[in-house]
Structure 1
Amino acid sequence: MKDKKSPAPQSPDTQLLVDNVVVQDMPADFHFETHMHRTVELLICLSGSLVITIHGNHHQVSAGEYMVIFPDIPHRADVPCDAPCSILQTHFHSSSFSELVDRQFPMSELVFSFELSLEKRKFFHSKSSPQLVACLEGLRSELYIAQKNAQKMLQLYLTQLNILLSRDLSAHTSNAAIYENRYLVNATTFINEHYMEKLTVNEVALTVGVSPRYLTKLFHEHLNMGVSTYITYVRISKSIDFKYLNSQYPLTDLALDMGFGSLQHFSKVFKEKMGVSPKRYFSIQTVEY
Structure 2
Amino acid sequence: MPIYFQPISENLPFSLESIGNHWLQDSVSRKLGYAHYHWLQTESGQGQIQLAGQLIPLAPGEGVLLPPFTPHAYFPDTGTGETWRTRFVTLNGLLADQFPKILGTNQPIFAKDNPEFSYSFWIDQIVNLLENRTLDTAQTSGACYQLLMYLSKGYENQLATSHPLFQQYISPTITKIETAYAEDLTVERLAAEVFITPQYLTRLFRRFTGKTTQQYLLDTRLNKAKAFLMYHQERSVETIASQVGFSSVSRFVQVFKEKNGVTPGRFRRG
TM norm structure 1: 0.48
For residue 184 of structure 1, report the CA deviation from its aligned partner: 1.3
Match among 184, 187, 191 for residue 201 of structure 1 = 187
The equivalent residue for 1:99 is 46
Contact 1:170–1:176 (Cα < 8 Å) also in 2: no
For residue 197 of structure 1, report the CA deviation from its aligned partner: 0.8
RMSD: 4.4
The equivalent residue for 2:109 is 165
**Cα distance in 2 between the residues matched to 1:210 and 1:100:** 35
Match among 211, 214, 224 for residue 238 of structure 1 = 224
Contact 2:46–2:76 (Cα < 8 Å) also in 1: no
For residue 206 of structure 1, report the CA deviation from its aligned partner: 2.4
For residue 243 of structure 1, report the CA deviation from its aligned partner: 3.1
**Cα distance in 2 between the residues matched to 1:246 and 1:171:** 30
The equivalent residue for 2:10 is 47
Match among 18, 39, 48 for residue 89 of structure 1 = 18
Q: Give unpaired runs (5+ residues) of structure 1.
A: 1-18, 26-44, 50-61, 67-86, 105-109, 118-125, 140-149, 285-289
For residue 283 of structure 1, report the CA deviation from its aligned partner: 0.6
Match among 222, 228, 235 for residue 249 of structure 1 = 235
Contact 1:46–1:88 (Cα < 8 Å) also in 2: no
For residue 274 of structure 1, report the CA deviation from its aligned partner: 3.0
Change (3 A) 1:166 1:275: farther
Change (3 A) 1:223 1:281: same
The equivalent residue for 2:100 is none
**Cα distance in 1 between the residues matched to 2:3 and 2:69:** 16
Match among 210, 213, 220 for residue 224 of structure 1 = 210
Query: Which of 1 and 2 has higher RCO (CA within 8 Å, sep 6+)?
Result: 1
Superposed CA offset, 1:76-95 (max 9, x none): xxxxxxxxxxx312234654
Contact 2:109–2:155 (Cα < 8 Å) also in 1: no
Q: Give unpaired runs (5+ residues) of structure 2.
A: 23-40, 78-82, 91-106, 112-147
**Cα distance in 2 between the residues matched to 1:245 and 1:172:** 26
Change (3 A) 1:89 1:217: same
Aligned length: 180
